[in-house]
């Protein structure tokens, strides 16, 4: 399948991501009025898709990047659950939005022929995934904590296609030493950095040894 922002699906292992343990990460207080919500939200900053968006979408392209169909072992690296909502600046959910992520494996190698050392790429890491936002705009992924590679701080590329339009951005990890040196991160002002920086915390209630973090995606419409 050729690469594109096209309709995806929540994969066969989505049940791994369910359960009450995730509620703390995806809950948005309904008591907040739309006006208060709008005052607190800014559009998620646009970022480059980079040179490593997959040339070919892998056959296994669901929202669990840690377990690849047919692979002998799960992905190397620490499991990280990334959760959030797709919404407008007014806090209105965007149900049905298609969210894509792509990132390098634990060794810094992308699922892309232009990424160096392809022969060493982790076959247990999917490298790319898709999820569809639910009726409240929630989406979620099971992936690995992003790894650094030469010239870049750890990050995850994120793409959104929704009724409100499209967005391409990058998610950064809080307190990474490389953030201060990263040329894309440095271009953002303080509020924009806050919008794309996620704190990954231990989440034993979700999965033993895993991390979890919330990354809301806000479109301007």
Q: Residue 208: its pLDDT value, please? A: 96
- Give the model confidence (pLDDT) of 50-59 as tens digits: 999 999 999 9
Q: Residue 1: its pLDDT value, please? A: 37
* Position 150 pLDDT exceeds 50: yes
- Whether 179 and 54 have beta carbons less than 8 Å apart is answered as no
Residue 66 lies in a domain: yes
Residue 86 lies in a domain: yes
Residue 6 lies in a domain: no
DSSP-assigned beta bridge partners for residue 162: 165
Residue 96 lies in a domain: yes
* Position 13 pLDDT exceeds 90: no
Give the integer Cα–Cα distance in Å for 65 and 192. 27
Average pLDDT of the segment spanning 7-28 = 45
Q: Which residues contact 20 (CB under 8 A, 6 or more apart)?
A: none
Q: How many CB atoms lie within 10 A of CB 67?
A: 19
Q: Residue 95: its pLDDT value, please? A: 98
Please give the structure tokens belonging to residue 10.
Answer: 């929540």
Average pLDDT of the segment spanning 184-204 = 97
* 3-state secondary structure at position 85: strand
**Count of structural domains, the chain:** 1
- Return the CATH number at 137: 2.60.130.10
Half-sphere exposure of 193 (CA within 13 A, CB side): 15
Residue 105 lies in a domain: yes
For 140, list phi and psi in degrees, rounded to 5: -160, 150
Q: Residue 38: its pLDDT value, please? A: 52
Average pLDDT of the segment spanning 4-16 = 39
Residue among 37, 206, 63, 195 at smallest CA distance from 128: 63
Of the listed ranges 11-15, 133-137, 183-187, 211-215, the one predicted with least confidence: 11-15
Q: 175 lies in which domain range?
A: 14-219
Residue 107 lies in a domain: yes
pTM of the entire predicted model: 0.86
Residue 1 lies in a domain: no
Residue 2 lies in a domain: no
């Amino acid at each position: 399948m050729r690469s594109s922002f096209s309709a995806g699906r929540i994969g066969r292992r989505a049940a791994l991501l369910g359960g009450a343990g995730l509620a703390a990460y995806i809950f948005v207080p309904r008591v907040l009025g739309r006006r208060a919500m709008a005052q607190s939200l800014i559009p998620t900053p646009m970022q480059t898709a980079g040179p490593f968006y997959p040339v070919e979408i892998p056959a296994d392209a669901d929202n669990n990047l840690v377990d690849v169909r047919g692979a002998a072992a799960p992905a190397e690296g620490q499991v990280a659950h990334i959760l959030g909502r797709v919404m407008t600046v007014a806090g209105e959910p965007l149900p049905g939005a298609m969210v894509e992520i792509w990132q390098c494996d634990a060794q810094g190698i992308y699922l892309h022929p232009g990424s160096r050392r392809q022969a060493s790429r982790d076959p247990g890491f999917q490298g790319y995934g898709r999820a569809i936002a639910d009726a409240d705009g929630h989406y979620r992924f099971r992936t690995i904590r992003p790894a650094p590679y030469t010239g870049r701080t750890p990050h995850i590329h994120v793409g959104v296609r929704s009724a409100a339009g499209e967005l391409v951005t990058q998610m950064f990890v809080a307190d990474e030493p490389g953030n201060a040196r990263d040329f894309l991160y440095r271009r953002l002002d303080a509020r924009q950095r806050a919008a794309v920086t996620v704190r990954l915390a231990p989440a034993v209630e979700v999965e033993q040894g895993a991390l979890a973090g919330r990354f809301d995606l806000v479109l301007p419409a």
